[in-house]
Amino acid sequence: MSPSGNDPGRAGPAPRFAVVGNPENRRITLFADAVRAAGLPAPRVVPWVAVLRSDGADFPADEIVRLDSPGENPEVDRLLRDAQDPTRVEGSARWYARFTRATRGLRGGVRLDDPDELAVLFDKRRCHATLAAADVPVPWSPTSGAAAEPVRGWDDVRALMRRHRMPRLFVKLAHGSSASGVLAVESSADGRIRATTSVELAPEGALFNSLKVRRYERERDIAAIVDALAPDGLHLERWLPKASLRGRVTDLRIVVVAGRATHAVVRTSSSPLTNLHLGGSRGDLDAVRDAVRAAGGRWTDVLALCERAAACFPHTLCVGVDLLPAIGWRRFAVGEVNAFGDLLPRLTGLPGSGAEGLGTYAAQIAAVLRRTGLGGGLGPPNPSYRPHDAHDVYDAHHQHQQQHRTGTTHASA
């Protein structure tokens, strides 16, 4: 790519960014602010609505193309899921199929993601299998890999719980995100069962995303939820008991840019679901580092594990890794890898990451400029990374709040 025209010592035009997203969304605003702060022209914004209605979009060969979440826009959600109510949970399989088809219509440009990798990132079963095949520690699952078992409803879940001795497990939508459709299921020796989830089961059987985490203790209610979710595809994982800070369940979101772990957020909760929009809160990163050291571990090894997970997707510039610390802080597992896991406002880079003082979007721009020879950026470059042209994609994040309910987040791994 040509050197930047903003540098008086260099000739040629400045790099040009384009972003596919929802123009009104804060993700787009924050990314555009970061591009301008780097001294570059404001990015061209291509709305998801236009992409979906036109079956694609065209980009000049030298335009650097970033895809961002299609979430939090009711019209986009309707086009993807046929959902008249964005708070409904159902329809994630339809969302996935339509979104991947639409992104295959993106033509030209220099892509900051890889379509094939994104398709894996937004299928929890395939992502889990990819990580496991690379010897990245993950919670055990009967629904990924060559021996994956089908889950057609609650009866299958119960059978798998018995067969694999899983009294506690997570039931997840294969294509869900932001805890949409996730149930943390616990059973006791006397046959009692309960599920913790943000799903609201309406009297007529409809499912809604809610900002309230609730518990269901009647098996028929749990069965009704799982049976309604099953047609969209389900992924099961053994429940890994997580470490805690100050009596609260704890996990981490680690952002990896160009192969390097650059940003970290600690998430704590009084429930098994640590998502910040469900009442979770940010924890103390220094306390986590101290806990790792006290257990005889090294923080650098924790970050290296996240980089190993990201290395499974070498042609995608940025991912967010959900890291699960086991009780005792000695062992860690990767819960998920998210394609749109970088919405962390006001967070700057980790010491020694090369992204000190930079937000997640600025760190990505710096990495791109390094690869084009136009800036210091993050180094050293990952030799296996290469920008890509378009094929197919998938993702969804955050949620559109409607009274006490929240729109389905089919848009953020």
**250 near 266, Cβ under 8 Å?**
yes
Instruction: Give per-residue pLDDT as tens, 146-165.
Output: 999 999 999 999 999 999 99
Structure confidence at residue 374 (pLDDT): 60
In this structure, are residues 399 and 409 in contact, taking their beta carbons and an 8 Å threshold?
A: yes
- Output the DSSP codes for 33-90: HHHHHTT-PPPEEEEHHHHHHHT-EEEEEEEEEEE----S-HHHHHHHH--SSTTB--
Q: How far apart (Å, rounded) are the C-alpha atoms in residues 403 and 210?
A: 9
pLDDT at res. 388:
34
The pLDDT tens digits of the residues spanning 189-200 come to 988 999 999 999
pLDDT category of residue 391 using cuts at 50, 70 and 90: very low
Give the contacts of 4 (CB within 8 A, at least 6 positions apart): 10, 12, 13, 14, 15, 39, 40, 369, 374
Inter-CA distances, 147 with 132, 136, 283, Å? 13, 18, 38
Under the banding of pLDDT at 50, 70 and 90, the label for residue 4 is very low
Average pLDDT over residues 156-185: 95
**pLDDT, position 321:** 98
pLDDT number for residue 148: 95
Q: Which of 113, 5, 118 is nearest to 65 (CA)?
A: 113
378 class by beta-carbon count within 10 Å (0-12 exposed, 13-18 middle, 19+ buried) = buried
Q: Which two tokens stand for residue 94?
A: 């339809």
Using CB atoms within 10 Å of the CB of residue 268, give its burial: 0 to 12 exposed, 13 to 18 middle, 19+ buried.
buried
Which structure tokens are listed for 44?
């061209």
Res 405: pLDDT: 58
Angle of CA points 147, 151, 154, to nearest 5°: 145
Looking at the predicted structure, is the pLDDT value of residue 334 above 60?
yes
**CA torsion, ordered 363, 368, 374, 377, to nearest 10 deg:** 30
Is there a contact between 408 and 91 (Cβ–Cβ < 8 Å)? yes
**What is the reported pLDDT for 394?**
22
The mean pLDDT of 285-289, rounded to a whole number, is 97
Amino acid symbol at 216 = Y
Q: What's the CA angle centered on 248, arms 251 and 288, to 5 degrees? A: 50
The DSSP symbol for 411 reads: B
Q: What is the pLDDT of residue 406?
A: 56
Residue with tokens 């940025």: 318
Q: 274: pLDDT confidence band, cut at 50, 70 and 90?
A: confident
Computed over every residue of the chain, the mean pLDDT equals 88
d(CA 313, CA 129): 13
Structure tokens at 367: 């990495």
Phi, psi of 88 (to 5 degrees): -70, 145
Least confident of 16-20, 216-220, 223-227, 398-402: 398-402
How far is CA 200 from its chain centroid?
22
Distances (CA, A) of 48 to 108, 238, 263: 17, 36, 27
Please give the model's pTM, rounded to 2 decimal places.
Answer: 0.88
